[in-house]
Structure 1
Amino acid sequence: MISGSMETAETLNAILKTIDEGIHVVDANGMTIFYNSVAASLDGLTLEEVHNYHVLDAFPSLTKETSTLLKVIQTGTPIYNQHQAYTNRKGKQIDTVNSTLPLWLDGELIGAVEVAKDISKVKQLSDQLLDLQAKMKTSTNKTNKQTFATYHFDNILSLDPLLNDIKEQCRKASRTSSPIMIYGETGTGKEMFVQAIHNESPRANKPFVVQNCAAIPGPLLEGILFGTKKGSFTGAVDRPGVFELADGGTLFLDEINSMPVELQAKLLRVIQEGVVQRIGSTSLRKVNVRIISALNETPEQCLSKGLLRQDLYFRLNVVYIELPPLRERHKDISYLSNYFLQELNTAFKKNVLGLTQEAEQLLNEYSWPGNIRELKHAVEHCMNFADNNTTIGEPLLPKHIKGTKIIRTENHIPHPSTIPPLRKALGEYEKQIIQMALKQTSGNIQQAARILQVPRQTLQYKIRQK
């Protein structure tokens, strides 16, 4: 029995050491009983300087009131997703999102565990972006020029009647300040439409600010949206949020369905009242912002999954625009392929003559889950290998697009010797689909899992198996 318990403890200890987040465990008296290397790296300490020491001895700057571990031991109440910013012992600025949980055994509080996720790089990049946007706003006020929005409706090319009708609807909607909600699959050109709406609007010479709600952890996103006041939390500085930066102009909230639901309630209040309150501040700042939001799932899916508050949906869904996927715009596949080819001829200083009929047929029969973005990348792939004064044929197409040729030859029965085992064929196809999803999301496993409609853990397992 003792041997089994020791093995269990050793296994648990080994698992905790491999986790890529900082973990600090204390007993009911506040003595450290586990402290992993990630936590040590974040704090600029060694394991020996913390393990078997009381929290307040290992971290003299803390008190009983400021230590989240001691607070949870005292109250027995968990603390979730608390943003902490501090300078560690090595002088490095660290930003983490911490969750601190009580540990119970048979109804008795025996300690607490704190899990810290390092968001220093994300915070640094977001701060740099906010500072850049603030400088751009100042420059805009001085020079009366637009910021960031470069696309106009003339840049949105299509032979599809439906999409051209949507362009005209967007032109009309651009003349007002009503909120707009846009749904479209990844790569359908949502931001192009948003920029075009801004540039066609009376706000064209005012700021255009973009915030992707999926790219930033929830606790950090609140400060980015509404701003922070110096001293509101450790390491906080006076910094305007994107609402203030977009004042007078347009704020584009991309993937708003990825925003934590509790933060959506605060966003709704800001939109309804037209005032913003920086984190830690008691003063209110009036803002005049046109909100354009985008979803990468249908509104019905977002509402049914609880990803979008119904009251926020009604507030933002005044003008609704749904962009059709490329697979439903048959004329645009060849049209845009040749447009991208000519564009890349200029960029690559080449003279590729065009696409063969067979290559165009394969492009037209492919489903384009990544839509226009994927099409452009596919043409660019071909252009890297195409010689001057030649046409792009099937051999130059990306492998996963050439695979559609096998699927569409329904009337051709291959020789048995050329038919791969079913398990192998399915495995290869699954591998291609996973690679496509990861490429579309720039390697973001959580977003790729959402596209493939599988749990993130399942996708991680399949990636390791490949």
Structure 2
Amino acid sequence: MNLAEKEKMERKLQIYEYILDQINEGIHVIDENGVSIIYNEKMSEIEAMKKETVLGKNLLDVFTFTEEQESTLLRALHQGEMTKNVKQTYFNAKGKQITTINNTFPIQEQGQAIAALELANDITRMEHMLRENFLKDKDTRYVFESIIGESAAIREVIEMGRRAARTSSSVLIVGETGTGKELFAQSIHNDSSRSSGPFISQNCAALPEHLIEGLLFGTKRGAFTGAIERPGLFEQARGGTLLLDEINSMSPPLQAKLLRALQEKKIRRIGDTKDMEIDVRIIATMNEDPIDAIAGDRLRKDLYYRLGVVTLFIPPLRERKPDIERLAFHFIQKYNRLFDMNVESIDPDVLDSFREYGWPGNVRELEHAIEGTMNFIADETEIGMQHLPHHIRRKLLHLSKVEAEDIPVCDASPLPVEAKAKETDTSFDHVPHDLKSRMAAFEKKYIRQVIEKNNNNVSRAARELGISRQSLQYRMRKYGMGFTLDS
């Protein structure tokens, strides 16, 4: 090669290097010895490493990979394996964790590997952007069609929610943690005539009383040191819906002020002397039985009657097991999009374990289990037991049977004579001596008597007890008592 040809070749290499540095994708090439020979600007940016620190050095001298997941570049080089859209987490020479989505290709000559190429995207930044878009306008993105499930338990509540959306009456949504209470609240708002108005949510347990009062009702300048003229949530939600989450955590005095606002449809800012009219629908949620909350002085009875014009009881996941598989695949699709993965199925044994497990955290726990699982998957397309997070795997393998035994089983068959005798035993010798246990035992016995008196007709029994039909069904499930649907 003469001098002119050499200069031409060097100029061409400079052009290639410039082009590689303009590509918005990380490019890393190692030779047959695992030494880095090409490393562009984008890859340098993703891995937070200078080019001169990487080029000319063995890959394993610069980067550290976990035992569970070896380098996809080295797999391509040594095993001739091509991989696409594989999530990889490793550490640079400074100990910084790097997470990328890689496409890796072996480069061969006459059947022999002479190099390996990796194209990488920074998943940390991708995830952030995807989440921003995915959660955009989160406050009002749920509708009834968003609720996953075909079980009778969830379809009944959805139908009741749709009916409630037709009016502006207050709604109380009761359900365990993670059952989707806010999803129902947003669906009611979006299905109502107020859907074009604001939807504002406030967790009543998140702030101390002196702050949440000002937040709800607003403040007038000079009301206290540092007070400014500020509208409260009642004013901000004008023409729309105000969701008060965990209403039972609000103090009794504040509950009394809320009751006044609901009854008179007027509020007064802190420090003001004038009332102002409000136009807002109130939806409240709580994660315990309202009757228990009233008995424990966590909920005013008069506020309950005002809020509970319509009361929806969201069933826990253990009572809608036919929906577990659909929910699991829904979350798989969600995290496939977020993580740019391609998981397609779940091992049947894992699905069986999902159905046996009690899910105390309900749908939220199932979603977190799927998200955690997706973080442990490399390039597989099926979720196996080995992919589940350790704490979930331990629960499924060792606690599922215990959980299943703890769940009351509804049995509509008549009680045996011996069992009836035990039910009517007023001594409660078999019940622990604390007040809560004794009250629960008495409530169960009395409900059983009223239901039998009404020939197992839940609606008539509920009327005699002075509670709603759904509230009675909630207690029957709570105590493992069977019922038949009214004709």
> TM-score, normalising length from structure 1?
0.55
Match of 2:368 in 1: 377
Distance across 2 between alignment mates of 1:154 and 1:177: 21
Which residue, 261, 275, 280 being the options, matches 2:266?
275
Structure 2 residue 397 is the aligned partner of structure 1 residue 405: yes
Match of 1:351, as an amino acid? N
Mark the CA change 1:409 to 1:367 in structure 2 (over 3 Å): closer, same or farther: closer
**1:396 to partner: Cα distance:** 1.4
Distance across 2 between alignment mates of 1:407 and 1:171: 37
Structure 2 residue 173 is the aligned partner of structure 1 residue 170: no
Structure 2 residue 150 is the aligned partner of structure 1 residue 159: yes
Distance across 2 between alignment mates of 1:370 and 1:407: 15
Distance across 2 between alignment mates of 1:307 and 1:329: 29
Which residue, 290, 293, 297 being the options, matches 1:302?
293
Match of 2:255 in 1: 264
> TM-score, normalising length from structure 2?
0.53
**1:389 to partner: Cα distance:** 4.0
Match of 1:210 in 2: 201
The Cα offsets for residues 432-465 of structure 1, whole Å up to 9 and x where unpaired, read as xxxxxxxxxxxxxxxxxxxxxxxxxxxxxxxxxx
**1:301 to partner: Cα distance:** 1.3
**1:235 to partner: Cα distance:** 0.4
Which residue, 345, 358, 364 being the options, matches 1:354?
345
Match of 1:417 in 2: none
Root mean square deviation, CA, Å: 1.6
Q: How does 1:413-432 map to 2 (within 5 A)?
A: none
**1:342 to partner: Cα distance:** 2.0
Distance across 2 between alignment mates of 1:182 and 1:243: 19
Which residue, 168, 172, 176 being the options, matches 1:185?
176
Mark the CA change 1:292 to 1:408 in structure 2 (over 3 Å): closer, same or farther: closer
Match of 1:419 in 2: none
Match of 2:233, as an amino acid? V
Which residue, 308, 315, 318 being the options, matches 1:324?
315
Distance across 2 between alignment mates of 1:407 and 1:372: 18
The Cα offsets for residues 103-124 of structure 1, whole Å up to 9 and x where unpaired, read as xxxxxxxxxxxxxxxxxxxxxx
Alignment length, in residue pairs?
265
Bigger Rg, which one: 2
In the TM superposition, structure 1's runs of 4+ consecutive aligned residues that sit over 6 Å from their partners are none
Distance across 1 between alignment mates of 2:400 and 2:211: 48
Q: How does 1:186-265 map to 2 (within 5 A)?
A: 186-265=177-256
Q: Compare 348-357 and 221-230 and name the one that shifted more.
A: 348-357
Match of 2:460 in 1: none
Mark the CA change 1:387 to 1:311 in structure 2 (over 3 Å): closer, same or farther: same
**1:394 to partner: Cα distance:** 0.9
**1:244 to partner: Cα distance:** 0.7
Q: Per the alignment, in what secondary structure is the counterpart of residue 253 of structure 1? A: strand
Gap regions ≥5 residues in structure 1: 1-145, 411-466
**1:276 to partner: Cα distance:** 0.8
Match of 2:355 in 1: 364
Gap regions ≥5 residues in structure 2: 1-136, 403-487
- Do 1:147 and 1:207's aligned partners in 2 also have CA atoms closer than 8 Å? no
**1:370 to partner: Cα distance:** 1.1
Distance across 1 between alignment mates of 2:197 and 2:319: 35
Match of 2:276 in 1: 285
Q: How does 1:427-438 map to 2 (within 5 A)?
A: none
Distance across 2 between alignment mates of 1:374 and 1:211: 22
Q: Per the alignment, in what secondary structure is the counterpart of residue 140 of structure 2? A: coil
Q: How much identity, in percent, do the aligned residues show? A: 49
